[in-house]
Structure 1
């Protein structure tokens, strides 16, 4: 059996296991999804969204790309946010980076990476905005980890800039946006404890898309 063929064998075994544990599992899964969580993460194969949060299929709406970017001209991520907020009524949006991110590391290196250049420039812009802090870190590994955290913070802010999030929060009091980092070295999620309401207040003078001032 080839590695590709093994995937179908794995799938059959998985489906049988789910039915043994819960005969109604797939009946529930086939119904309309109503997840509370929208997860925006990195495409890295070592960071599976559902598993690291201990959630089952149907519990989390997922978007992944290289280095978990939220770029306002990326119709893919913007469509996911809009659909998640306006149609799935997600209560929480999580942008999750991870230590050891290849995209972030690539952005730290002065190399021409071809088609990746415009994508990674978003991370290089984060480095530029925080250059003094990052350059003050003599340990390269710590500088790398810190850029991962700062990149998450920037993408978290980009989510709050969107009309869908602002309008929904004003009308319904949700979603709340969160910034996380997954640590491959111990399997734990680090909550950056970013203050959603404070961030919203701080950016609304420029990015408010509702005409309403939050207090």
Structure 2
């Protein structure tokens, strides 16, 4: 049983706290030992790298429970090697939590990707969106063949997730785990806001053989 859903327009500071109390009651009614087990520690098998968009909550769309998914989110699920926040999450999830799957999940209709497709100045986020424009530049030949604007938008969402997964795979963190024989797979997904379904982009990597020579470290 889930806590009562609050309509967005009715959410207030007090309703958030009440929502928490309702959720706790539901959890305890369903499993009196729920919080005892939850507070004992975590061993999630999955690290989720997703967009900050409020409509893409990792647990709900994968039907998982608290403790099942370790989560990192940022604007447009960007993965770059200079992001120490993301790298710290990646390092902890792989070397301490021993996750078995790292999933980079984008979503169709992503505002960050849409902004990166245009030339309008947004603000400080323009510097962040530069990473998505680099994805476009890398795949410019393919992108230039897509004449339909919506299809081009959707494809950049997919390519951004694929490049993100590739950047995860190329980190020294992941390569060291593979070199040490750790079971670990890196995936790229895209979620549809219109259907609620996840699309597996079929670019799973599971070992050092999947790392391009230019990015291999020893």
What range describes the TM-score normalised by the shorter chain of this pair? over 0.9
Match of 1:11 in 2: 20
Is residue 2:137 matched to residue 1:128?
A: yes
SS of the residue 1:55 aligns to: coil
Distance 1:16 1:4 in 2: 19
Match of 2:214 in 1: 206
Find 1:187's aligned residue among 169, 188, 196: 196
Q: 1:154 to 1:2 in 2, by over 3 A?
A: closer
**Aligned-pair CA distance for 1:37:** 0.3
TM-score calculated relative to the size of structure 1: 0.93
**Aligned-pair CA distance for 1:117:** 1.6
Q: 1:111 to 1:167 in 2, by over 3 A?
A: same
Is residue 2:148 matched to residue 1:139?
A: yes
**Aligned-pair CA distance for 1:197:** 4.3
Distance 1:104 1:68 in 2: 10
Runs of 5+ consecutive residues of structure 1 not aligned to the other structure? 211-215
Match of 1:110 in 2: 119
Match of 1:174 in 2: 183
Runs (4+) off by over 2 Å: 200-204
**Aligned-pair CA distance for 1:87:** 0.5
Runs of 5+ consecutive residues of structure 2 not aligned to the other structure? 1-9
Distance 1:133 1:206 in 2: 23
Q: How many residues align?
A: 209
Q: How much is the aligned-residue C-alpha RMSD, in angstroms?
A: 1.4
**Aligned-pair CA distance for 1:202:** 5.1
Match of 1:100 in 2: 109
TM-score calculated relative to the size of structure 2: 0.92
Q: 1:2 to 1:50 in 2, by over 3 A?
A: closer
SS of the residue 2:76 aligns to: coil
**Aligned-pair CA distance for 1:160:** 0.5
1:38-76 per-position Cα deviation (integer Å, ceiling 9, x unaligned): 000000000001011110000010000000011111110
Is residue 2:64 matched to residue 1:55?
A: yes
